[in-house]
Amino acid sequence: MVLRIIEDTVRAMTPHVLGTNTFPDLPVPDPEASVELLRDWLEKGIPEFGTVTTAALLALNLYSLANNGRTLPDCNFRAQASLLERLFKRKGSLTYGFFYIVSMPIVGAYYARDDVQKTLGFDVVALKEEAERRVVSRTASLPKNEPGEELTESAGTL
Amino acid sequence: MIYSREHINGDVRLIAEVAVIGSGAGGATIAKELSEAGRRVVVLEAGGHFTREDFNLRMDFAATNMYWYGGQLITLGTPMFVIPQGKTVGGTTTINSGTCLRMSHSVLKRWHLEHGLWDIKDEELALYYAAVEEYLFVQKGDPEVLGKNATLFLEGAKSLGFSGGILPRNAKDCEGYGVCCFGCPTDAKQSANISYIPDAVKAGCDVYTGVTVDELVLQGGRVTGAKGRFAGGNGNGSPGPTIEVSADVVVLAAGAFHSPRMLLAQGLCNSSGEVGRNLTIHPCSPTVAVMDEKIGNPKGVPQATYVDEFADDGIMLEGGTVPPLGVAMNLPYKGRRLAEFMSGYPNTAMFGGMLSEHCSTGTVKLHPRDRQRYVITYNLRGDDVRRFRFMTEIMAEVWFRLGAKSVFTPTVSFPDMLPSDLKRFKRQKPKASDYIAVSAYHPLGTCRMGDDPERSVVQHTGETWDIPGLFICDGSIVPMSLGVNPQLTIFALAMRCAGFVDEELEKLAGRQAGGRESSSDLR
């Protein structure tokens, strides 16, 4: 039951936390990837970290209940956006810390994606392929790149 | 050979002259030096063995597979620091930036005066440093591959009259893939996993990975081995096979957190009460500047240049770039502001600063419910808070000199600083609680060396005061903050320590031979 609530909360929060809807160059978020990363952290991470994340996500739902009469996932998109925007704008270390924790699986899952990183100029697939051809040995020097084989520059599209 | 769980079909029993726990800068060096001297050495490593083929440049892969606790290791206190620590063959050397700086003469003098470590002499240490530097190809980075981020900041710092330069690193033919902290994808970085460990293995050393050591075995007051367990049974949640190594000498090299944790769990070597105490770290503060021009991060050398103008005050600025994921995770923004900032990532430049504490220290204690874990407490105190803030000011000053439109700082009060904010920022009273999402590196001191058994855990040789045959050789024995990245010093100390371990084995062999002679005499 608790797991379902916090997973639904992360799912609902994903587009709001990432705020990519007005940035067409950035790939579309995948709420399921956020949930998957959350599950992974709860399963493999430090238990206390999982407890704090769970408590913070439940607290967010209590806040939503107190303000909107519904849990966050049960609010419509607009009500979710309005509630979260209100919180995002608050200053202070508590709010800062709170959103740092509850947003980690969302931000983590999105910005770890190859397509997102490539859009921002970090093409991990191309760089890995190139690195395969440039293996360094302790006993010999690396040959210079052939003309036309220059290292991959930022491959960003922005 | 390097063994992992897949090679193991049942419980393992081994006999060696030396059992080394941990394969980072300390353990790997000991293993190589002693194996090449003909000693039978077994290394037990908690992490897995990853190679260049596995290093895929992804921060999330590295954090999950090669960092302790998935990179979630944090201190309790104000502010809370994330401390990345390697859990893989090569330890933290596999996932660090490769910076290799010698400690200063004045720090060694403080070792002498404050800890009585007169036996560690300048000239002797210089020889070890030189040997390690040669072995690890330590050199300043090629200016052509440093990357715009590093050279730009250095240029800005110099325009303000600050001293600085290019960092020496243990990298050979580095082409600046920008991902040192996630495992070097070309083997350019000469971390222990591609240097000391392979050479140790070549000389006959066996490395067992995925092993959690539960117990140091004692007999008659002397250490006689170590017992542990491989992680994971058959994927069904059952415990893995056990491993027991009988050894004449055990070298604990599990790092500044796990070495004291293991001793505390068994109540060993703590007659001084100093195990787990005196923790020093380098609290770090990053700055991310939004520039007009494209910077091209993370391509280049992540930690390529430094500014040491304020080194006498314990402040060292060293470049530190991270890929988009690392920036996004640490930003205070959410929603549209996050997307806006991140879509400008190609125009962001980064630099970090690290502080040598004057008055803050921390402790490592056993986790109250889990003897395999620990709790780190650490509070930034007194003048350290002011200097920590000053570090952010310097970096912001440099960025604005270079024309930055805004500078992100990890503070609650000025997360996004405009040039016009700098004066207000400087006037504000520094508070430790103003910092959030900061990291720290280079934990040291939790099993410190010294000449006084009542104030230290190990002697200058690395051997513990309390248990004959038990040596400690990792960052935990370094008695105070070095003011620079510590890996080179740990490599050098380990090389020195290997000589004392060898001597101990010689002495032991002499005693055993004497004992056998006496026995035969009796017959």
pLDDT in tens, B386-412: 999 999 999 999 999 999 999 999 998
Q: Which residues contact B327 (CB under 8 A, 6 or more apart)?
A: B288, B342, B345, B348, B350
Nearest to A124 among B57, B335, B412 (CB): B57
Residues 6+ apart with CB under 8 A from B66: B47, B48, B50, B86, B87, B88, B94, B95, B182, B183
CATH superfamily ID and name for B1-135+181-279+361-378+443-523:
FAD/NAD(P)-binding domain (3.50.50.60)
Which H or E element spans position B139? strand B139-140
Question: What confidence category does residue B234 fall into, taking pLDDT thresholds of 50, 70 and 90?
Answer: low
pLDDT for the residue numbered B523: 35
pLDDT above 50 for A155: no
Residue B224 pLDDT > 90, yes or no? yes
What local confidence, expressed as pLDDT, does residue B521 receive? 43
Closest by Cα among B88, B274, B289, B105 to B197: B88
Q: What is the pLDDT of residues B44-72, one digit of tens each?
A: 999 999 999 999 999 999 999 999 999 98
Place of tokens 């210089």: B126
Segment among A22-26, B114-118, B389-393 with least mean pLDDT: A22-26
Q: Name the range with the highest mean pLDDT among A26-30, A92-96, A134-138.
A: A26-30
Judged by CB atoms closer than 8 Å, whether chains meet at B437 and A156 is answered as no
pLDDT for the residue B358? 85
Whether the CA torsion A130, A135, A140, A141 is positive or negative: it is: positive
What count of CB pairs under 8 Å joins A to B? 148
- Identify which of B334, B345, B434 has the shortest CB distance to residue A121: B345
Coil, strand, or helix at residue B280?
A: strand
Contact B329 A104 (CB under 8 A): yes
| CA dist list (Å): B195 to A29, B32, B95, B495 | 41, 9, 14, 14
Decide if domain B139-169+280-359+381-434 falls under CATH 3.30.410.
Answer: yes
Model pLDDT for residues A104-121, shown as the tens digit of each residue: 999 999 999 999 999 999
* Over residues B165-182, mean pLDDT: 96
- For residues B430 and B180, is the Cβ–Cβ distance under 8 A? no
Residues B418 and B405: their CA atoms lie apart, in Å, by 7
* Residue B264 token pair: 């505390």
Sign of the alpha-carbon torsion through B237, B241, B242, B244: negative
Q: Which of residues 99-138 of A touch B (CB under 8 A)?
A: 99-100, 103-104, 107-108, 110-112, 116-117, 120-122, 124, 127-128, 131-132, 134-138
Nearest Cα of chain B lies from the Cα of A157 at a distance, in angstroms, of: 10
Report residue B79's pLDDT band, with 50, 70 and 90 as the boundaries.
very high
| Residue A134: half-sphere exposure toward Cβ, Cα within 13 Å | 24
Structure tokens at B130: 């030189």
Assigned token pair, B318: 């060293």
Alpha helix (H) ranges present in B117-270? 122-135, 148-159, 196-202, 255-266
**Per-position b or e across B349-367, b if 16+ CB within 10 A of its CB:** bbbbbbbbbeebbbbbbbe
pLDDT of residue B514: 77
CB proximity A14 to B under 8 Å:
no
Closest CA relative to residue B274, chosen from B465, B467, B447, B450? B447
For chain B, give the mean pLDDT. Answer: 94
Torsion sign, CA atoms B139, B140, B146, B150: positive
Q: Which residue matches tokens 């309790």? A: B76
Cβ(B367)–Cβ(B373) below 8 Å: yes
Give A-chain residues touching B186 at CB under 8 angstroms: 131, 134-136
Going by the DSSP 8-state scheme, the letter that residue B482 receives in this structure is -
Interface contact flag, A135 B57, Cβ < 8 Å: no
pLDDT at A149 over 80: no
Domain residue extents for chain A? 2-112, 114-158
A136–B186: do the CB atoms touch at under 8 Å?
A: yes
Picking from B86, B251, B101, the residue whose alpha carbon sits closest to that of residue B166 is: B101
> Which residues are paired to B229 by β-bridges?
B212, B242
The whole model's pTM is what?
0.94
pLDDT at A154 over 60: no
What residue ranges do the domains of chain B occupy? 1-135+181-279+361-378+443-523, 139-169+280-359+381-434
Q: Which ipTM did the prediction report?
A: 0.90
How do residues B294-331 score in pLDDT, each as one tens digit? Answer: 999 988 999 999 999 999 999 999 987 899 999 999 88
Nearest CA to B230 out of B207, B246, B212, B215 is that of B212
pLDDT digits (tens, 9 = 90+) for A55-83: 999 999 999 999 999 999 999 999 999 99
> In this structure, what token pair is assigned to residue B349?
């430049």
pLDDT of B487-514, one tens digit each? 999 999 999 999 999 999 999 999 888 7
